[in-house]
Amino acid sequence: MFKKKIDLLRIGFSLIAVIILLVINILYEDLVINDIYLFKNVVILPISLVFYLLVSYDLYIKSYKQLTRKDFFNEVTLTLIASIAAFAIGEYVEGLAVTLFFQIGEKFEDYAVDKSRESIKSIINLRPDKVTLYNDEIEKVVDPYEVQVGDLFIVKNGERVPIDGIVYKGESSLDTSSMTGESIPKKVKEGQVIISGVINIGSPLIIKSTKEFYDSTMSKMLELVENASSNKAPVEKFITKFSKIYTPIVILLAFLIAIIPPLFFGYNDGAVWSQYIRVGASFLVISCPCALVLSVPMAYFVSLGQASKYKILIKGSNYLDKFRKIFAVVFDKTGTITKGNFVISEVNPTINHTNEELLNLVKYGEYYSTHPIANAILKNEHDSLNKNLLADYKELSGKGIEVTYKDKKLLVGNDKLLQDNDIKFNKASTPFTIIYCAYDGNFIGTITIRDEIKESSKLAIQNMYKNGVSQTYILSGDNKEIVEKVASEAGINNYVSNLLPLDKVNELKKIKDANTNKIVAYVGDGINDAPSLTLSDLGISMGVNGSDLTIESSDAVIMDDDLNKVNYVMKISKKNHIIAIENIVFAIGVKILIMILSLIPNLPITPYIMWFAIFADVGVTVICVLNSLRLLLKKY
């Protein structure tokens, strides 16, 4: 912070000095002292040199360090060469202005970076710097990396959970908004899994770690954010390669422009040499690739931050670029399109019974079962049921449950169970799971259990079509009737069912072969989706319930499992591409125009060409950086 203030002060004083020197230079440029010394040599030069050293000493240090790394052809070197050339031909104020405005451009870039970092600040700030161990009921504050799998640690009210684990002792509520975007607090108790990054907003919790710090959910997410800039998009790669080839060429051209014409048109005329050295120096400043080198990566950096703000972490700008070109999206079904947990969708009692009677009987029938369907029916209501009313519990494999309830036989299971007990019933017709119930020899009714479609899925699919997606697919291991029903409800136009994990990969290969040279994205959350995520052109995983392997295999992670966030990133990607192209066209266009003007002698602007050069460099850079910052203003 102190260094920033010092930098701003020296730039501010130098800017005031440039303005004052410009005015003095215009008024007294031709003033002669004692018939020998020009005013600008005894007044303007010393003042300009003082402020030049003040504003550019750090650039010389930076340039020296780059030279030791054999990095000569860069924007800092170009700027310093141009400023030295300006001083050499007596344009002292211009020489100072070249480095001053370069520094101002750098400060604009720093401001832009700081501004865009705010978009991912909420994620970066999740990193804990300490953990309170609670082994042997003794509190000990340690570094997060010291915590081992199986260690107990305590998280008090207001503290963030640092490492993934299981609640060992205590009950509380968690604020999960920073990790999932869910605003409603989540209640947890002993035995429940907790991911790192959430905040305890209730009673203290003692948690047993299930992972080491570097391997926990939060650390993985932070790693994605911090390493995102390492994978560059094609446009960024082009700019990097372009500047490395372009910079030495323009330095050579500037040298030739400054040297060759005077050799032919006045090698013994100082005014001719001064004119062409000025043009060469101006050419150097004009050609400096700062606007491209800074603004195009800036656009991608801002866009990655915007995506993070919407709870999507993207592993690199090259993957961000692919979002705008998605042609087909392939979905896993369970946990991606659907919620991945069973719910009661229909309750159909016979005419002589009510919904409440049927549900009550089924709950008692499932009381001792540990099957996921039983969990969906009971919903943690064991405490409200009187288990003393039950006796002779039997679980019949492949059929269901037989139990005595209030001294009468209760049957809860599939149609085979009722057939084996000679119960007359009406067989239901649906692709989803049907629970039949009979009590005291009479058919009571059926309950339909299904994996519920996420509220966001249908809207997400509709928006994908609007954003340019042409084909959608479901690849699932479920039976055809269920997959067909889910695809129809979600608006997905292709599906393949009864697939094993290896079959998914083969089907995805077929889809990619049918859409050659087009981006095929895959969205999934299970371990069995990892090979498909890797094979696809763009792998997108669900972060809440996704496995570690799935997250590692993907190119982007939806932290809150909201499928519609894919559409947000598609829009961000398209807007980012437009901004990047605008910057490239504007920067190159202005530079070429002023380069041409600088080479034409005796134009009205020729005496001021260095100032036009400064605008072509710093002015264009600032405009392009500000244009990139427009991405922060866009709402999706």
Residue 427 CB partners (closer than 8 Å, separation 6+): 415
pLDDT for res 596: 81
Residue 48 CB partners (closer than 8 Å, separation 6+): 17, 21, 87, 92, 93, 95, 96
Residue 76 CA to residue 288 CA, distance in Å, equals 9
CB atoms within 10 A of CB 197: 25
pLDDT band with cut points at 50, 70 and 90 for residue 549: low
Q: Contact at 8 Å (CB) between 378 and 359?
A: no
> Which SS3 state, helix, strand or coil, does residue 384 take?
helix
In the block, which residue shows the tokens 């020998």? 36
In the block, which residue shows the tokens 């089907």? 507
Higher-confidence residue of 44 and 241: namely: 44
Q: Contact at 8 Å (CB) between 32 and 38?
A: yes
Domain 340-452 has CATH 3.40.1110.10: yes
The arithmetic mean of pLDDT across residues 317-334, rounded, is 88
pLDDT for res 616: 78
pLDDT for res 114: 60
What are the helix (H) ranges across 355-500?
A: 355-365, 372-378, 415-420, 455-466, 480-490
Please give the structure tokens belonging to residue 174.
């968690």
For 170-210, write each residue's pLDDT tens digit: 888 887 655 544 445 677 888 888 888 788 888 889 999 99
For 251-291, write each residue's pLDDT tens digit: 788 788 778 887 877 677 777 777 777 777 777 767 766 66
Q: Contact at 8 Å (CB) between 426 and 395?
A: no
Q: Alpha carbon of 608 to those of 56, 79, 536, 603, 605: distances in Å?
A: 22, 18, 55, 10, 5
Decide if 313-338+454-570 and 340-452 have a common fold: no
Residue 128 CA to residue 72 CA, distance in Å, equals 40
Q: With 70 as the cut, is the pLDDT of residue 126 above it?
A: no
Residue 349 CA to residue 443 CA, distance in Å, equals 9
The arithmetic mean of pLDDT across residues 452-479, rounded, is 88
For 129-154, write each residue's pLDDT tens digit: 788 998 988 888 888 888 899 999 99
Domain ranges of the chain: 2-118+229-301+574-632, 313-338+454-570, 340-452
φ and ψ at residue 177, rounded to 5 degrees: -60, -35
Residue closest to 404 by CA, chosen among 367, 353, 443: 367
Q: Contact at 8 Å (CB) between 460 and 331?
A: no
Residue 388 CA to residue 615 CA, distance in Å, equals 87
Q: Which CATH number fits domain 313-338+454-570: 3.60.15.10, 3.40.50.1000, 3.10.440.10, 3.30.1050.10?
A: 3.40.50.1000
Residue 283 CA to residue 288 CA, distance in Å, equals 9
For 394-425, write each residue's pLDDT tens digit: 888 778 899 999 999 999 988 889 999 999 99
Bridge partners (DSSP) listed for residue 413: 400, 436
Residue closest to 324 by CA, chosen among 468, 459, 458: 468
For 233-261, write each residue's pLDDT tens digit: 555 555 556 656 766 777 788 788 778 88
The burial of 210, by beta-carbon neighbours within 10 Å (0-12 exposed, 13-18 middle, 19 or more buried), is given as middle
Against a cut of 0.85, is the pTM above it?
Answer: no
Q: With 50 as the cut, is the pLDDT of residue 36 above it?
A: no
pLDDT for res 222: 59
Residue 636 CA to residue 623 CA, distance in Å, equals 24
Mean model confidence pLDDT for the chain: 79
The arithmetic mean of pLDDT across residues 439-447, rounded, is 92
Bridge partners (DSSP) listed for residue 439: 410, 442
Q: With 60 as the cut, is the pLDDT of residue 125 above it?
A: no
CB atoms within 10 A of CB 143: 11
Active site residues: 332
For 360-395, write each residue's pLDDT tens digit: 999 999 888 876 677 778 876 777 888 889 999 988
